[in-house]
Amino acid sequence: MSNITSEDLFKNIISHAKEYGFIFQSSEIYDGLSAVYDYGQNGSELKKNIREYWWKAMVQMNENIVGIDAAIFMHPTTWKASGHVDAFNDPLVDNKDSKKRYRADVLIEDHLAKIEAKISKEVEKARTRFGDSFNEETFRTTNARVLENQKKIDEINMRFKNALEVGDLNEVRQIIIDLEIVCPVSGTRNWTDVRQFNLMFNTQLGSVSEESSTIYLRPETAQGIFVNFLNVQKTGRMKIPFGIAQTGKAFRNEIVARQFIFRMREFEQMEMQFFIKPGTEMEWYKHWKDVRLKWHRSLGFPETVHRFHDHLKLAHYANAACDIEFKFPFGFKELEGIHSRTDFDLGNHEKFSGKKLQYFDPDSGQSYVPYVIETSIGLDRMFLAILSQSYAEEKLEDGSERVVLRIPEFLAPVKCAVLPLVKKDGLPEKAREIMDRLKFDHLCQYEEKDSIGKRYRRQDAIGTPFCITVDHQTLEDQTVTIRYRDSMVQERIEVGSIEKILIDKVDMKKALRQISG
RNA sequence: GCGGAAGUAGCUCAUUUGGUAGAGCAUCAGCCUUCCAAGCUGAGGGUGGCGGGUUCGAGCCCCGUCUUCCGCUCCA
């Protein structure tokens, strides 16, 4: 459809996802939960297949990459070491007029700096007045105006410190109001409440609340790999370079979460941390960029839907970083990140745990903290990429319309539908017989309700790549028609050859061969 | 988070100053038997997002709340 806007298209994809059992809003009967979604009967299959394809491509196809499955709960110190506790724990306040958001502590500190500047000015004035005989120390401890300002600073500091310690955000707001701090943009004092935006969800470990300690739901899976670096390296006798892969849920308390499953509070990551010798990071960085792009391209979508986006402003842990972006209906957006994380994580875990996280290099006879190249892809985003790229509204030659999901065959939720042309004359029995054989290899569906055309359309809508139709001729010569989702072409094939043909067409092997060459 | 819009059956939508809620499609049962949706008959399904208020009476008016969408803002 050429005249459909991308906004409408995206809306249609979302309703299609719900109508055909791919994605439901979480807790919908209770009005839903914002930015949390459930995968339905078809969605969970597609998601599982994507995960499996990633896992095979990363772990099964690479001798030097192994997988783990670390717990979501981790020791709280993990997140101090990773930088998540400090970096994402700020009290924020908005100015209602300018709509600008500020860190409350920064506003107050800026105000303190202004008072501090006043003091410095007094000191400088005095210095020029008194010349060589000037004693700054004495001046600072005796001058009335300096003392008054210093007293102000101390009082504010004390008040602010207390407020933060007891977590009294109203008091923080009151400080801003009492100090008559204005917004640099609007110049007004029209402030919202001060709010704490924590990136991480926390919960209690321990059944009795008084004895319990606060732990976090992991905001990324990577740290589960880093804290197990030594365990895996030693028990697996891994030699650098080697990688550890993991898929699993992560949780982020997003301030604004939107665009369907693109940004969710609970989501699944597929990550691989590749441990290397320091100094070799740029070549490995390039290597994994190439490898990962190849993986994406192996799905057979047009090359124009992917592009690299290099990060100019780097995160605290990285010395090179880029995204593989995908052309979603709402524009190019990050799908996978490839980061050169240096020895930031392992180094910090060494510091915080007091354990040596080093690798002994037998060639050089030296130990070092390995550098890390990370590949990190959002499974839910990958799901959305495949869903939106596969979705097509078609006008057929006879004037009718169909909605079809051209999901790569080996990822499709249902691989094959078995359909008796009519619901009598022994055709259902024959179809059941075929179904019972195929189900050992693939997830298949049997359908006998409604006209054959209607059933084909239903299978198109969930992306089933093949339909096997049993008709009267089948009973005579043991042949059926196989009907292709994308072309709608039908062929007559022998019943006995169905299994072989299907396996050939839906096997993941073909795609894996493509990326391993 | 701020501003705007919306929420009626599984879906798309009606119900013209407030007077006991309807259609199409879908679903289910039966009939028909036909290789690309839309044949016939019948049935089920809604305390109008939720809570409160005004009123003799609220899907409709008012307030709150939840969810979604759009714009802004934020994003390791």
CA of A34 to C1' of B53 (A): 28
Same domain, A209 and A329: yes
In whole angstroms, give the CA distance from residue A25 to residue A13.
Answer: 14
pLDDT digits (tens, 9 = 90+) for A415-443: 999 999 998 889 999 999 999 999 999 99
The alpha-carbon radius of gyration of chain A (Å, integer) is 31
Taking residues A66-70, report their average pLDDT: 97
For residue A226, give the nearest of A249, A253, A203, A244 by alpha carbon: A244
**In the listed set A176, A196, A216, which residue is the last one of a domain according to the structure?**
A196
Q: Please indicate, yes or no, if residue A84 is contained in any of the structural domains.
A: no
Residue with more model confidence, A162 or A413: A413
Query: How far apart are alpha carbons A414 and A235 in whole angstroms?
Result: 39
Residue A405 near residue A390, CB atoms below 8 Å = yes
What is the arithmetic mean of pLDDT over A222-228?
A: 97
Q: Pick out the nucleotide with least CA–C1' distance to A481.
A: B35
A271 and A221 both lie in a single domain: yes
A476 pLDDT above the threshold of 70: yes
A397 domain-assigned: no
> Which nucleotide does the CA of A316 lie closest to, via C1'?
B76
Residues A225 and A148 in one domain: no
Which of A391, A420, A438 represents a domain boundary (last residue)? A391
Do A230 and A277 share a structural domain? yes
| Rounded distance in angstroms from the CA atom of residue A186 to the C1' atom of nucleotide B33 | 75
What's the average model confidence in pLDDT over A272-279? 97
A26-CA/B55-C1' distance, Å:
38
- The pLDDT, as a whole number, for residue A118 is 84
CA→C1' distance for A415 and B61 (Å): 54
| Token pair belonging to A21 | 């059992």
**Of the ranges A129-138, A246-255, A475-484, the best mean pLDDT one:** A475-484
Q: Half-sphere exposure of A497 toward its Cβ, with a 13 Å CA cutoff?
A: 11
Domain shared by A354 and A234, yes or no: yes
Q: How many domains does chain A have?
A: 3
Protein-covered nucleotides on strand B (Cβ within 7 A): 1-2, 7, 10-12, 27-29, 32-38, 49-50, 66-70, 72-76
Are both A93 and A209 inside the same structural domain?
Answer: no
**pTM for the complete prediction?**
0.84
Nearest residue by alpha-carbon distance to C1' of B65: A31
CATH number at residue A414: 3.40.50.800
Token output for A77: 């110190």
Query: Token pair for residue A265?
Result: 């509070």
Which nucleotide is closest, CA of A219 to its C1'? B76
Is residue A242 included in any domain, yes or no?
yes
* Residues A359 and A211 grouped into a single domain: yes
Nucleotide nearest to A488 (CA to C1'): B36
- A70 backbone φψ class: left, alpha, beta (φ>0; ψ -120 to 50): beta
Q: Where are the alpha helices (DSSP H) in A236-329?
A: 281-297
pLDDT score for A376: 95
Query: What angle do helix axes A379-390 and A41-55 make, rounded to 10 degrees?
Result: 110
> In which band, very low, low, confident or very high, does the pLDDT at A145 lie, cut at 50, 70 and 90?
confident
Q: Are A67 and A221 in contact (CB under 8 A)?
A: no
In a domain, A396, yes or no: no
CA A56 to chain centre: 19
Highest mean pLDDT, choosing among A173-187, A219-233, A242-256: A219-233
**pLDDT at residue A167 is higher than 70:** no
pLDDT in tens, A362-378: 989 999 999 999 999 99
A33 or A221, higher pLDDT: A221
Instruction: Give the Cα-Cα-Cα angle A399, A405, A407 (nearest 5 degrees).
Output: 145
- Least confident window among A60-74, A101-115, A283-297: A101-115
Phi first, then psi: give them for residue A391, nearest 5 degrees. Answer: -70, 130
Rounded-to-integer distance, Cα A233 and Cα A239, Å: 7
A480 and A359 within one domain: no
Task: Give the domain extent around A325.
Answer: 1-79+199-391
DSSP 8-state code for residue A60? I
CA of A292 to C1' of B7 (A): 42
Name the nt closest to A337 by C-alpha to C1'.
Answer: B76
Residue A49 placed within a domain: yes
- Rounded CA–C1' distance between A388 and B9, in angstroms: 29
Helix (H) or strand (E) holding A230: helix A229-235
What percent of chain A has a predicted confidence (pLDDT) above 70?
91
Q: Which nucleotide is nearest to A254 (CA to C1')?
A: B75
Same domain, A351 and A237: yes
Whether residue A224 is found in the same domain as residue A333:
yes
Q: CA(A348)–C1'(B21) in Å? A: 65
Measured distance between the N- and C-terminal CA atoms of chain A, rounded to whole angstroms: 37
Name the residue among A276, A266, A415 with its Cα closest to residue A341: A276
Nucleotide nearest to A334 (CA to C1'): B75
pLDDT digits over A303-348, tens only? 999 999 888 777 767 889 999 999 988 888 889 999 999 999 999 9
Report the length, in residues, of chain A: 517
Residues A406 and A468 in one domain: yes
Residues A412 and A487 in one domain: yes
Q: DSSP letter at A217?
A: B
Please report the pLDDT score of residue A2 as a whole number. 39
Q: Answer whether residue A473 shows pLDDT above 90.
A: yes
Whether residue A512 lies inside any domain: the answer is: yes
Side-chain half-sphere of A31: how many Cα atoms within 13 Å? 0
Integer distance in angstroms from CA A166 to C1' B1? 24
Within a domain: residue A33?
A: yes
Classify burial at A449, counting beta carbons within 10 Å of its beta carbon; exposed 0-12, middle 13-18, buried 19 or more: exposed
